[in-house]
Amino acid sequence: MVNKPKVLILRTAGTTCDEETAWAFSLAGAIPERVHIKRIKEGSKKLKDYQILVIPGGLSYGNDISAGKVLANEIMNNLKEEIDRFIGEKKLIIGISNGFQVLVKAGILPWNDRQRVSLGWNDSAKFESRWTYLKIEDTASPFFKGMPSVIKLPVAHAEGKFIPENKDVLDRLEDEKLVACRYCDADGTSHAGYPFNPNGSVNDIGGICSPDGLIVGIMPHPERALLKYYSPDWRKEDKEEYGYGFLFFKNLVAYFS
Protein backbone atom coordinates (compact mmCIF):
# COMPACT_ATOMS: atom_id res chain seq x y z
CA MET A 1 0.00 0.00 0.00
CA VAL A 2 1.30 3.42 -0.98
CA ASN A 3 -0.59 6.16 0.87
CA LYS A 4 1.05 8.99 -1.08
CA PRO A 5 2.26 7.76 -4.45
CA LYS A 6 5.21 9.49 -6.06
CA VAL A 7 4.44 10.94 -9.46
CA LEU A 8 7.04 11.55 -12.15
CA ILE A 9 5.81 14.32 -14.45
CA LEU A 10 8.04 14.03 -17.49
CA ARG A 11 8.98 17.29 -19.15
CA THR A 12 11.20 18.42 -21.97
CA ALA A 13 11.62 21.40 -24.27
CA GLY A 14 8.18 22.75 -25.09
CA THR A 15 6.23 21.10 -22.27
CA THR A 16 3.68 23.62 -21.00
CA CYS A 17 1.30 21.86 -18.59
CA ASP A 18 3.71 20.26 -16.12
CA GLU A 19 3.18 22.79 -13.32
CA GLU A 20 -0.62 22.59 -13.49
CA THR A 21 -0.40 18.80 -13.51
CA ALA A 22 1.91 18.82 -10.49
CA TRP A 23 -0.55 21.03 -8.59
CA ALA A 24 -3.39 18.68 -9.54
CA PHE A 25 -1.59 15.70 -8.03
CA SER A 26 -0.66 17.67 -4.92
CA LEU A 27 -4.29 18.63 -4.49
CA ALA A 28 -5.30 14.98 -4.88
CA GLY A 29 -2.83 13.82 -2.21
CA ALA A 30 0.18 12.57 -4.19
CA ILE A 31 3.82 13.64 -4.23
CA PRO A 32 4.56 15.00 -7.70
CA GLU A 33 7.96 15.82 -9.15
CA ARG A 34 8.62 17.52 -12.45
CA VAL A 35 11.57 15.73 -14.05
CA HIS A 36 13.34 16.59 -17.29
CA ILE A 37 13.90 13.57 -19.54
CA LYS A 38 17.64 14.28 -19.48
CA ARG A 39 17.70 13.40 -15.77
CA ILE A 40 16.20 9.98 -16.56
CA LYS A 41 18.58 9.35 -19.46
CA GLU A 42 21.66 10.23 -17.40
CA GLY A 43 20.47 8.11 -14.47
CA SER A 44 20.24 10.82 -11.80
CA LYS A 45 16.50 10.07 -11.62
CA LYS A 46 15.10 6.54 -11.78
CA LEU A 47 11.67 5.72 -13.15
CA LYS A 48 11.48 2.75 -10.77
CA ASP A 49 11.33 5.12 -7.79
CA TYR A 50 7.87 6.37 -8.81
CA GLN A 51 4.40 4.85 -8.92
CA ILE A 52 2.85 7.08 -11.57
CA LEU A 53 4.36 8.34 -14.83
CA VAL A 54 2.65 11.30 -16.47
CA ILE A 55 3.41 12.81 -19.84
CA PRO A 56 1.60 16.15 -19.64
CA GLY A 57 0.24 18.47 -22.26
CA GLY A 58 2.27 20.96 -24.20
CA LEU A 59 4.24 21.25 -27.38
CA SER A 60 7.14 18.88 -26.80
CA TYR A 61 10.00 19.88 -29.08
CA GLY A 62 7.64 22.35 -30.73
CA ASN A 63 5.80 19.53 -32.53
CA ASP A 64 8.30 20.23 -35.30
CA ILE A 65 7.90 16.85 -37.04
CA SER A 66 4.42 15.98 -35.82
CA ALA A 67 2.80 16.28 -32.42
CA GLY A 68 4.64 14.16 -29.85
CA LYS A 69 6.75 12.25 -32.37
CA VAL A 70 10.20 13.45 -31.27
CA LEU A 71 9.55 12.73 -27.59
CA ALA A 72 8.02 9.36 -28.49
CA ASN A 73 11.19 8.40 -30.37
CA GLU A 74 13.36 9.65 -27.51
CA ILE A 75 11.44 7.53 -25.02
CA MET A 76 11.51 4.38 -27.12
CA ASN A 77 15.20 4.74 -27.99
CA ASN A 78 16.34 5.43 -24.44
CA LEU A 79 13.75 4.30 -21.90
CA LYS A 80 12.03 1.26 -23.46
CA GLU A 81 13.27 -1.27 -20.90
CA GLU A 82 12.39 0.99 -17.97
CA ILE A 83 8.93 1.65 -19.41
CA ASP A 84 8.28 -2.07 -19.95
CA ARG A 85 9.37 -2.82 -16.38
CA PHE A 86 7.16 -0.03 -15.09
CA ILE A 87 4.18 -1.48 -16.97
CA GLY A 88 4.98 -5.00 -15.79
CA GLU A 89 4.86 -3.83 -12.18
CA LYS A 90 1.28 -2.60 -12.71
CA LYS A 91 2.14 1.03 -12.15
CA LEU A 92 0.19 3.82 -13.81
CA ILE A 93 0.97 5.77 -16.99
CA ILE A 94 -1.05 8.78 -18.08
CA GLY A 95 -0.74 10.84 -21.26
CA ILE A 96 -2.67 14.09 -21.51
CA SER A 97 -3.08 15.87 -24.86
CA ASN A 98 0.52 16.00 -26.16
CA GLY A 99 1.23 13.14 -23.76
CA PHE A 100 -1.50 11.10 -25.43
CA GLN A 101 0.13 11.80 -28.78
CA VAL A 102 3.44 10.58 -27.34
CA LEU A 103 1.96 7.35 -25.96
CA VAL A 104 0.30 6.31 -29.22
CA LYS A 105 3.28 7.24 -31.40
CA ALA A 106 5.59 5.33 -29.09
CA GLY A 107 3.27 2.32 -29.41
CA ILE A 108 2.72 2.19 -25.64
CA LEU A 109 -1.01 2.60 -26.22
CA PRO A 110 -3.09 0.68 -26.84
CA TRP A 111 -1.18 -2.62 -26.71
CA ASN A 112 2.45 -1.68 -26.01
CA ASP A 113 3.82 -3.22 -29.16
CA ARG A 114 3.99 -0.80 -32.11
CA GLN A 115 2.11 2.25 -33.31
CA ARG A 116 -1.38 1.27 -34.36
CA VAL A 117 -3.27 4.55 -33.95
CA SER A 118 -2.40 8.21 -34.35
CA LEU A 119 -3.65 11.68 -33.57
CA GLY A 120 -3.69 13.86 -36.66
CA TRP A 121 -4.71 17.34 -37.75
CA ASN A 122 -8.15 18.52 -36.72
CA ASP A 123 -10.76 18.41 -39.46
CA SER A 124 -11.31 22.12 -38.84
CA ALA A 125 -7.68 22.72 -39.93
CA LYS A 126 -7.17 25.00 -36.94
CA PHE A 127 -6.22 24.96 -33.28
CA GLU A 128 -9.28 24.07 -31.19
CA SER A 129 -9.56 25.50 -27.69
CA ARG A 130 -12.99 24.87 -26.19
CA TRP A 131 -14.85 22.96 -23.49
CA THR A 132 -16.16 19.60 -24.63
CA TYR A 133 -18.67 17.08 -23.35
CA LEU A 134 -17.32 13.57 -22.85
CA LYS A 135 -19.25 10.35 -22.47
CA ILE A 136 -17.46 8.03 -20.03
CA GLU A 137 -17.33 4.49 -21.36
CA ASP A 138 -17.24 1.16 -19.51
CA THR A 139 -13.58 0.07 -19.36
CA ALA A 140 -11.20 -1.69 -17.00
CA SER A 141 -9.64 1.65 -16.06
CA PRO A 142 -10.16 2.81 -12.45
CA PHE A 143 -9.41 6.44 -13.36
CA PHE A 144 -13.01 7.36 -14.22
CA LYS A 145 -14.63 5.63 -11.25
CA GLY A 146 -17.53 7.51 -9.69
CA MET A 147 -17.78 10.05 -12.51
CA PRO A 148 -21.11 10.95 -14.08
CA SER A 149 -21.86 9.38 -17.45
CA VAL A 150 -21.22 12.76 -19.12
CA ILE A 151 -18.56 15.23 -17.98
CA LYS A 152 -16.98 18.42 -19.33
CA LEU A 153 -13.28 18.99 -19.91
CA PRO A 154 -11.45 21.54 -22.08
CA VAL A 155 -9.40 20.70 -25.16
CA ALA A 156 -6.54 22.70 -26.64
CA HIS A 157 -4.87 21.12 -29.67
CA ALA A 158 -4.33 21.29 -33.40
CA GLU A 159 -3.59 17.57 -33.86
CA GLY A 160 -6.23 15.73 -31.88
CA LYS A 161 -8.11 13.67 -34.46
CA PHE A 162 -8.02 10.03 -33.36
CA ILE A 163 -7.20 7.82 -36.34
CA PRO A 164 -6.84 4.01 -36.15
CA GLU A 165 -4.46 2.20 -38.47
CA ASN A 166 -7.35 0.32 -40.09
CA LYS A 167 -10.81 -1.09 -39.40
CA ASP A 168 -9.41 -4.17 -37.67
CA VAL A 169 -7.64 -1.98 -35.12
CA LEU A 170 -10.80 0.09 -34.60
CA ASP A 171 -12.93 -3.03 -34.16
CA ARG A 172 -10.45 -4.46 -31.68
CA LEU A 173 -10.46 -1.24 -29.66
CA GLU A 174 -14.23 -1.34 -29.50
CA ASP A 175 -14.51 -5.08 -28.83
CA GLU A 176 -11.92 -5.01 -26.04
CA LYS A 177 -13.57 -1.94 -24.48
CA LEU A 178 -10.44 0.20 -24.71
CA VAL A 179 -12.29 3.42 -25.59
CA ALA A 180 -12.26 5.39 -22.33
CA CYS A 181 -14.33 8.39 -23.42
CA ARG A 182 -16.04 9.84 -26.47
CA TYR A 183 -16.94 13.34 -27.51
CA CYS A 184 -20.69 13.91 -27.29
CA ASP A 185 -23.34 16.58 -26.84
CA ALA A 186 -24.79 17.70 -23.50
CA ASP A 187 -27.22 14.76 -23.49
CA GLY A 188 -24.48 12.20 -24.03
CA THR A 189 -25.32 11.59 -27.68
CA SER A 190 -22.32 10.67 -29.83
CA HIS A 191 -21.99 11.44 -33.55
CA ALA A 192 -23.20 14.97 -32.82
CA GLY A 193 -20.64 16.43 -35.21
CA TYR A 194 -18.62 19.61 -34.91
CA PRO A 195 -18.10 21.40 -32.55
CA PHE A 196 -19.08 18.66 -30.08
CA ASN A 197 -16.44 16.49 -31.68
CA PRO A 198 -13.81 19.23 -31.93
CA ASN A 199 -11.37 17.43 -34.18
CA GLY A 200 -13.23 14.83 -36.23
CA SER A 201 -11.99 11.82 -34.26
CA VAL A 202 -13.10 8.47 -35.65
CA ASN A 203 -16.00 7.12 -33.57
CA ASP A 204 -15.77 10.31 -31.50
CA ILE A 205 -12.88 8.81 -29.53
CA GLY A 206 -11.37 11.25 -27.03
CA GLY A 207 -9.33 8.82 -24.97
CA ILE A 208 -8.28 5.18 -24.80
CA CYS A 209 -6.75 2.81 -22.26
CA SER A 210 -4.65 -0.34 -22.18
CA PRO A 211 -6.39 -3.74 -21.71
CA ASP A 212 -5.73 -3.65 -17.95
CA GLY A 213 -6.85 -0.03 -17.75
CA LEU A 214 -3.65 1.17 -16.08
CA ILE A 215 -2.38 3.20 -19.04
CA VAL A 216 -4.67 5.99 -20.22
CA GLY A 217 -4.33 8.63 -22.90
CA ILE A 218 -6.83 11.46 -23.28
CA MET A 219 -6.88 14.58 -25.43
CA PRO A 220 -8.93 16.83 -23.09
CA HIS A 221 -7.15 18.41 -20.11
CA PRO A 222 -8.33 17.27 -16.64
CA GLU A 223 -5.70 19.50 -15.01
CA ARG A 224 -7.60 22.48 -16.45
CA ALA A 225 -10.84 21.41 -14.79
CA LEU A 226 -9.76 20.97 -11.17
CA LEU A 227 -12.11 23.51 -9.60
CA LYS A 228 -15.67 24.29 -10.63
CA TYR A 229 -14.63 27.91 -11.16
CA TYR A 230 -12.55 26.88 -14.17
CA SER A 231 -15.73 26.18 -16.14
CA PRO A 232 -17.18 29.16 -18.02
CA ASP A 233 -20.65 28.00 -16.90
CA TRP A 234 -19.82 27.43 -13.25
CA ARG A 235 -22.50 29.82 -11.97
CA LYS A 236 -25.16 27.85 -13.83
CA GLU A 237 -23.95 24.44 -12.68
CA ASP A 238 -24.93 22.89 -9.37
CA LYS A 239 -21.91 20.86 -8.35
CA GLU A 240 -19.27 20.61 -5.66
CA GLU A 241 -16.24 22.83 -5.24
CA TYR A 242 -14.04 20.54 -7.30
CA GLY A 243 -14.41 19.94 -11.02
CA TYR A 244 -14.45 16.71 -12.99
CA GLY A 245 -10.70 16.90 -13.54
CA PHE A 246 -10.08 16.63 -9.81
CA LEU A 247 -12.04 13.35 -9.69
CA PHE A 248 -9.70 11.97 -12.34
CA PHE A 249 -6.55 12.75 -10.33
CA LYS A 250 -8.19 11.65 -7.09
CA ASN A 251 -8.89 8.25 -8.64
CA LEU A 252 -5.26 7.90 -9.69
CA VAL A 253 -4.10 8.48 -6.12
CA ALA A 254 -6.84 6.26 -4.65
CA TYR A 255 -5.59 3.34 -6.77
CA PHE A 256 -2.66 2.98 -4.36
CA SER A 257 -4.64 3.19 -1.14
pLDDT by residue, tens only, the chain of 257 residues:
678 999 999 999 999 999 999 999 999 999 999 999 999 999 999 999 999 999 999 999 999 889 999 999 999 999 999 999 999 999 999 999 999 999 999 999 999 999 999 999 999 999 999 999 999 999 999 999 999 999 999 999 999 999 999 999 999 999 999 999 999 999 999 998 999 999 999 999 999 999 999 999 999 999 999 998 998 888 887 667 899 999 999 999 999 98
Note down the domain range covering 125: 6-254
Residue 182 lies in a domain: yes
Residue 1 lies in a domain: no
How many folded domains does the chain comprise? 1
Residue 183 lies in a domain: yes
- Which pLDDT score, from 0 to 100, does residue 196 have? 98
Distance CA 246, CA 74 (A): 30
Which helix (H) or strand (E) covers residue 157, if one does? strand 150-157
Distance CA 192, CA 169 (A): 23
Distance CA 132, CA 142 (A): 22
Residue 137 lies in a domain: yes
* CATH at residue 113: 3.40.50.880
